[in-house]
Amino acid sequence: MTDTVAATAAAVAAGQTTARATTEASLAAIAEADGELNAFSVVLRDQARAEADARDEQQRRGDALGPLHGVPVAVKEELDVAGCVTTFGGRGNSTPVAADGEVVRRLRAAGAVVVGKTRMPEFGAWPYTESAAYGATRNPWDPTRTPGGSSGGTAVAVASGMVPIGMGGDGGGSIRVPSAMCGLFGLKPQRGRVTTAPHPHLWWSLGVVGPLTRTVLDSAIVHDVVDGSLDGDRWRAGEIGSLVAAARREPGRLRIGWSVKPAAPGVRPDPRHVAAVEQTARLLVEMGHDVVEVDPRYPDQTLAFVPQFFAGIRTEADEVEHHRRLERRTRTTYRLGGWVTDGVIERALAATERVSAKANRVFDRVDVLLTPTTAHRPPEVGVLDGVGPVGAALRSMPAIAYAALWNVAGNPAAAVPRGVADDGLPLSVQLVAPTDGEEVLISLAAQLEAADPWPQTATKVG
């Protein structure tokens, strides 16, 4: 079982262990656990060992060490890793890519060792990691339950202790949902904060890239490595400071509004999630913050989200080598999205700006918004079995009812673990900040973590 990012990097830098040893520990953990959990799509055993040996040689030469030196990392299937097929969770591609995507390049430049790639539903279309091609990924807390998605393989790899870091993406909750279901900290950064190169965007304005980790500090360390846009990125975030520095300082007295009202109509939160929000609100009062219940007055996001959902899937599907190999549900979704022309996309992006302005009005009254992360408990594996796109969308609504709006609005939002419920599965709350507010989220989440620590690895039910 691997240690945290911070502890692993510190131990390697101090000579207490080696990059090769940490990599071997990660590979052993994968070999022991992944047969049951199905988190990894490919394990790069030989490449990872060679990369770890190169890290150790750098250290022996006295080279400067990066903040992730010797730390094993897993990468979601939608991100390019040199020599691997970027599958997007399906069978549509068959040719390995020649170069790392920019985020993976930055991880390696900081000293990380890439040990493999992780499962996702095809094109990240659904918040459950289930695939006709590759089966279901299982929650390490209870393998009969889903870990969520679409970064489900990444979440399982981290929560089970197979790796300290997993990279994911979030186009409608896909970092926060699996973080919530697997007991992890997952920050969806501000739109444009992390480059999507070599692609100009990830699901148009909805998608962002970021890590899933077991601690707030670990997330901050990784974000300080990967954050930053490039000239080819369609969106750019504003300037912020070091998130590691933010994790190590108090946030000051904040105005925190809480609400259990979903942003999606027709969804009711599980009573345990309501209780988690209320308990967190009481704890925040004890910590000295000004905490009040608010009505966020969520705007209708339909005209912004739905066209970009279809456009995101169609854009990625148009780029695969073998369209006929896509799953039946994906092909149906592709056909259903045929109405999304370039003009429709531009109107959806204009609607995105209006939704963002309305959603951000809540921050005229508060500094941070506290909500549930998801509405429901982790469903049993097979939640998408036998349903088409419409049925899948309906079954997905409880997972994204609190999350997807903030993809449309673009705001940073984080899933923060809040212990374990009576069913033996993790609890989570969501913290949302104003535009470019990652620093306050990290500081507040670190303060919560210190006041009420959460389990750092999964413990199976029963």
State which H helix or E strand residue 96 sits in: none
> Per residue in 371-398, pLDDT tens?
999 999 999 999 999 999 999 999 999 9
In a domain? residue 174: yes
In a domain? residue 81: yes
User: What's the mean pLDDT in 285-294?
Assistant: 98
Q: What is the mean pLDDT of the chain?
A: 97
Comparing CA positions, the residue from 90, 66, 70, 68 lying closest to residue 78 is 90
**What CA–CA distance (Å, rounded) separates 333 from 290?**
45
Amino acid (1-letter code) at residue 46: D
Does the annotation mark 174 as catalytic? yes
Distances (CA, A) of 285 to 24, 120, 175, 246, 389: 45, 38, 28, 21, 43
- Domain limits at 123? 5-451
In a domain? residue 162: yes
| Order of all β-strands in the sheet with 208-213 | 40-43, 113-118, 72-76, 165-170, 208-213, 185-188, 413-420, 426-432, 368-372, 255-258, 290-293
Does the annotation mark 428 as catalytic? no
**What CA–CA distance (Å, rounded) separates 257 from 292?**
5
Pairing of strands 135-136, 130-131: antiparallel
Chain length of the chain: 462
> Per residue in 405-450, pLDDT tens?
999 999 999 999 999 999 999 999 999 999 999 999 999 999 999 9
The predicted structure's pLDDT at residue 333: 96
**What CA–CA distance (Å, rounded) separates 395 from 435?**
30
pLDDT at 460 over 90: no
Phi/psi for 47 (5° steps) reads -65, -40
User: What's the mean pLDDT in 36-42?
Assistant: 98
In a domain? residue 243: yes
Comparing CA positions, the residue from 413, 401, 398, 430 lying closest to residue 258 is 430
In a domain? residue 459: no
In a domain? residue 458: no
The answer to whether 214 and 158 have CB atoms below 8 angstroms apart is: yes
- Three-class SS state of 242: coil
**What CA–CA distance (Å, rounded) separates 52 from 36?**
26
State which H helix or E strand residue 153 sits in: helix 152-159
The predicted structure's pLDDT at residue 59: 97
Residue position matching structure tokens 């490595």: 225
Catalytic residue among 151, 160, 174, 396: 174
Q: What is the CA radius of gyration of the chain?
A: 20
Name residues whose C-beta falls within 8 Å of residue 392's C-beta, 6 or more positions apart in sequence.
Answer: 125, 126, 329, 384
State which H helix or E strand residue 440 sits in: helix 438-451
Determine if the peptide bond prior to 198 is cis (ω within 30°): yes
pLDDT at 404 over 50: yes
Burial class of 423 by CB neighbour count within 10 A (0 to 12, 13 to 18, 19+): middle
Catalytic residue among 41, 131, 150, 219: 150
Torsion of CA 61, 21, 65, 443, to 10 degrees: -170
The predicted structure's pLDDT at residue 461: 54
DSSP calls for 298-312: PPP-HHHHHHHHHHH
Residue position matching structure tokens 């730390």: 71
Amino acid (1-letter code) at residue 208: V
Comparing CA positions, the residue from 275, 293, 257, 268 lying closest to residue 420 is 275
> Per residue in 255-267, pLDDT tens?
999 999 999 989 9
pLDDT at 91 over 70: yes
What CATH number corresponds to the domain at position 206? 3.90.1300.10
Residue position matching structure tokens 């599907």: 317
In a domain? residue 456: no
The answer to whether 284 and 291 have CB atoms below 8 angstroms apart is: yes
> Per residue in 345-369, pLDDT tens?
999 999 999 999 999 999 999 999 9
Comparing CA positions, the residue from 3, 373, 370, 462 lying closest to residue 180 is 373
Catalytic residue among 26, 76, 205, 443: 76
User: What's the mean pLDDT in 185-213?
Assistant: 97
The predicted structure's pLDDT at residue 1: 57
The predicted structure's pLDDT at residue 462: 47
**What CA–CA distance (Å, rounded) separates 335 from 314?**
9
Does the annotation mark 259 as catalytic? no
**What CA–CA distance (Å, rounded) separates 404 from 401?**
7
In a domain? residue 457: no
User: What's the mean pLDDT in 233-250?
Assistant: 97
The answer to whether 1 and 161 have CB atoms below 8 angstroms apart is: yes
Tally the domains of the chain.
1
pLDDT at 172 over 80: yes
Residue position matching structure tokens 């079995």: 385
The predicted structure's pLDDT at residue 291: 98
The predicted structure's pLDDT at residue 456: 81
